[in-house]
Amino acid sequence: MHPNSRKTTPLRLAGAVGALAATLLLASCSGGPAGASDGPEGKLKVVATTTQLQDFAAEVGGDDIELTGLLQPGASAHHFDPSPADLLALSKADVLVVNGANLEAFVDSAVQASGFSGKIVTAADGVDLEAAKEITKESGAAGGDGHDHSHAGEGAGGDAHAHAEGETHAEGDAHAHAEGETHAHAEGETHAHGAEESHSHEGEGGAEAGHSHDHGDLNPHIWTSPKLAEGMVNEVAYGFEQADPKHKAEYQERAKAYTERLHALDEWTAAQFARVPAAERVLVSGHNSMTYYLHDYGIEFAGSILPSFEDNAEPSAADVDALVAKIKEKHVKAVFVESSMSPKLAQTIAKEAGVKVVDAETLYADSLGKPGTESGTYIGATISNTQTILDAWGAKTDKVPDTIN
């Protein structure tokens, strides 16, 4: 098992629930009612799961929210146990932001244990998941064969870069923005999500009720594509608007500004990889976490060290031998390790294959870097990933334009 793996178990959850109950009792005895806001009055209390969602929530919410993050930098949603403090924050929250797409197996039990009764915002609902499944299928477990590598207008977001003024945000069109509107919904209209069933989470027991931790035919790492991230950000903004209508205009304005930066990030990243011959754009990663990023920028996926969407799977000896052979066959220049993984197996495989391993400047897929560092934001981490890959391939990157920063 992966050294950082921490499977959620009934025993651990029971301990956390017991500690939470004691904490709530102390709060009650001290005169503070359970669930009362400890933060500034009038702010929307938001809890977000992954570090990427925490960044999206902060960008959209600004000073109008009080934000608590569950996962810390370097942690992975594939193996996470909420602490009593996490459950306490969740019990007080107005909004819980989750990735969805069957990523966070811990959410249902955490919601039930904490007594959370607010609004659940599922960021994946802003993405065309049927198209994402097709991308997952095309990428294959060790392939990349069958990729359509053209860049313009692609991705699971549908029409990827439509920004015409006055357009409405059609569901499945990740980049269309109505003037002054980040997510066009008629007053009183239900929020239809197209490819994935629409869920009303008010007072429900969890974001992924009835789902086991089985990703099936959908890679859940949808945020790795800046195009898909736009749809996720718009979904977060829409959720905040519904929970806090008083600040709707502010949420829309911030989401519009941020998605424009994501659009510029996507264009810059595409331009960097376009200068590398297609035959040389081949990548091996720690686990199968970069599917949508690779698809967007015409990079062939030769395989991963761990044969899974999760970063706590265990490869067999046959898996390792097959990957070494693939690296040699495809003339892969380097093996990359994600920041949430141990580099030891990657170092062994790279040595056997006779290529270098990039483990000092790791890729940020499951987690962002530490706050205050370049990789501590989604945009910074994506820039870092692009620069790290191209540097290992012997290519240079242009200066990042001001429209991104």
Q: In this predicted model, which residue has the larger pLDDT, 298 or 314? A: 298
CATH fold match for the domains 10-129+157-269 and 276-392: yes
Query: Which pLDDT band, with edges at 50, 70 and 90, does 313 fall under?
Result: low
β-strands 334-338, 356-363: how paired?
A: parallel
pLDDT at 74: 85
How much is the pLDDT for 156?
Answer: 55
Q: What is the pLDDT of residues 248-286, one digit of tens each?
A: 999 999 999 999 999 999 999 999 999 999 999 999 988
Average pLDDT over residues 169-173: 39
Mean pLDDT of the residues in the chain: 78
Most confident of 4-13, 18-27, 228-237, 309-318: 228-237
Predicted confidence at residue 295, as pLDDT, reads: 97
The share of the chain scoring above pLDDT 90, in percent, equals: 58
Residue 211 has pLDDT above 80, yes or no: no
Q: What is the pLDDT of residues 335-352, one digit of tens each?
A: 998 877 778 888 999 999
Alpha carbons 43 and 45: distance in angstroms, whole number: 6
CATH fold of 10-129+157-269 reads Rossmann fold (3.40.50)
* Residues 6+ away with beta carbon under 8 Å from 144: 282, 294, 299, 300, 301, 302
Domain boundaries, the chain: 10-129+157-269, 276-392
With beta carbons less than 8 A apart as the criterion, state whether 252 and 60 touch: no
pLDDT tens column, 160-169: 333 333 333 4
- For the segment(s) 276-392, the CATH number from 3.90.1150.10, 2.60.40.1180, 3.30.470.20, 3.40.50.1980 is 3.40.50.1980
For every residue of the chain, which 3-state class applies, written as one string?
A: CCCCCCCCCHHHHHHHHHHHHHHHHHHHHCCCCCCCCCCCCCCEEEEECCHHHHHHHHHHHHHHEEEEECCCCCCCCCCCCCCHHHHHHHHHCCEEEECCCCCCCCHHHHHHHHCCCCEEEEHHHHCCHHHHHHHHHHHCCCCCCCCCCCCCCCCCCCCCCCCCCCCCCCCCCCCCCECCECCCCCCCCCCCCCCCCCCCCCCCCCCCCCCCCCCCCCCCCHHHCHHHHHHHHHHHHHHHHHHCHHHHHHHHHHHHHHHHHHHHHHHHHHHHHHCCCHHHCEEEEEECCCHHHHHHCCCEEEEEEECCCCCCCCCCHHHHHHHHHHHHHHCCCEEEEECCCCCHHHHHHHHHHCCEEEEEEEECCCCCCCCCCHHHCHHHHHHHHHHHHHHHCCCCCCCCCCCCC
